[in-house]
Structure 1
Amino acid sequence: MTIRNWFKFSFWALLIGGGVNAIASLIIRWSFFQPYLLNGEIGEFLAAFVWMIFLGFTMSVMAQAGFFAYLTLHQVGVNIFRSLTLWNWIQMLLIIIVLADIIIFRFSPGAETIADWVFYVFLLVVLVGAAVATGLKKVKMTQKPHVLISTIFFMIVVTSLEWIIALMGRQDNIDVYVALLLFPLVAVNAFQILMLPKYNAQSEVDRKKLEERRKARKEVVRTAKA
């Protein structure tokens, strides 16, 4: 990917992370924002809203780092196991382990009521549902069925590792951030896994155009000298 397209890719990922987190915060933390509006404290409301946007930017940066780490891991996995099919089976096993870890060690200790379990199950449905939907979209875009498992692996396992900061918390209001941080991570990761081929293809087009311009300049100089 060229620097120009990498910048565009990262910029859009930042906007998605900030925007999704801002919208999600208005819904999830409405009880926090509502008093500012009721009391006419618009400045405080905007300050809190901007803070949520920057929190989304932070999640986006983490997601981008995780994405490029996954690209390396995926290539290493394929090279080690010498078979894409075997590597997909390994990824499926890791998906099961990560989901079990989230349920047993992250959610169970904090689930004291039925309402808590409903909340945690909803988050799992969001995570897994987004992963499956993204995987199906990736297959449709590429016409390559084998990318389904890799995409779901990325969307579940890598997103969960990025989400671990909130999952490991034990503060009284940690569930708010567990929910809040999930949405920008899922949105940014879905954007990255789906749109990377577009930016890679555009980078190839840009390189060809640059090479053509270089050849044209050399031809002009050669003609002038002649």
Structure 2
Amino acid sequence: MKSRDWVRFFFSSLLVGAIAATASGFILNWDQQAGSFQKFQIDEILASFIWFIGVGLLFSIISQMGFFAYLTLHRFGMGIFGSVWNAVQLVLIAFVLFDLVYFRYQFFGDSGSLLPYIWPAAGFFAVCLVIAYFKQKDTNKGAFVPALFFMFVGTAVEWFPALRENDQNWLYFMLISLLCCNAYQLMMLPRFSGSAEKKMGQRKAVEG
């Protein structure tokens, strides 16, 4: 992929993060924002809008760092574990799924019901399964496990700052933004690199 395509990929991912954070931010905080819209308080609406965009850009950068870290990890994993790399990833996925429920319950559960900690993790995992399925359909069957690993484990690692807090709005706000950014990168990187390869092939055909 050429540097120009990397730049386009980077800025398009930033845009996805900004849009996802702005939309989810206003929706999740609508009880606080509704009054500003009803009273048409432009300064407060604009301040919230700018803040959501800024945080969305930050989430996108975190997402992109995680994505390229995973691409490097995936290469190392294939080189070290070979054919059992997919099995290793599945074990790590199961471990992270358990941790998302158990450790949050240990920190914030106060000996109450476990269900409020199971449903967010289960919903998060279900969304990752759907994205991995579409990635598989878009490429090949071998892409399912790596896609699921990145979407679930990679996003969980990036999500850690929000997991340390027991604030439901902040938890979902960051998760939605990260999922949108990660899904976009996962699905679109081949298209950006494919576009670069296609242009190179056309240029060679012309020069030849």
TM over 0.5: yes
The structure with the larger Rg is 1
- TM-score, length-scaled by structure 2: 0.91
Larger mean CA deviation between 103-112 and 160-169 belongs to 103-112
Aligned to 2:168: 175
Asked if structure 2 preserves the Cα contact closer than 8 Å seen for 1:60 and 1:188, the reply is: yes
Aligned to 1:207: 200
Residue 16 of structure 1, CA deviation: 1.0
Larger mean CA deviation between 42-51 and 180-189 belongs to 42-51
Match of 1:184 among 170, 173, 177: 177
Distance 2:15 2:123 in 1: 21
Aligned to 2:162: 166
Distance 2:39 2:185 in 1: 40
Asked if structure 2 preserves the Cα contact closer than 8 Å seen for 1:19 and 1:53, the reply is: yes
Amino acid at match of 1:181: M
Aligned to 1:219: none
Sequence identity percentage: 31
Distance 1:53 1:123 in 2: 25
Larger mean CA deviation between 39-48 and 87-96 belongs to 39-48
Distance 2:183 2:135 in 1: 10
**Structure 1 spans left out of the alignment, 5+ residues:** 217-226
Match of 1:99 among 97, 100, 104: 97
Distance 1:169 1:212 in 2: 56
Aligned to 1:4: 4
**Structure 2 spans left out of the alignment, 5+ residues:** none
Give the root-mean-square deviation of aligned CA atoms. Answer: 2.0
Aligned to 2:142: 146
Aligned to 1:221: none
Amino acid at match of 2:145: I
Asked if structure 2 preserves the Cα contact closer than 8 Å seen for 1:111 and 1:117, the reply is: no
Query: Which whole-Å deviations, capped at 9, do the CAs of 1:194-224 have from their partners, x for residues lacking one?
Result: 11111111111233445567x58xxxxxxxx
Query: Which whole-Å deviations, capped at 9, do the CAs of 1:72-115 have from their partners, x for residues lacking one?
Result: 000000000122xx10100000001111111111244323565x
Equivalences, count: 207
Aligned to 2:129: 132
Aligned to 2:56: 56
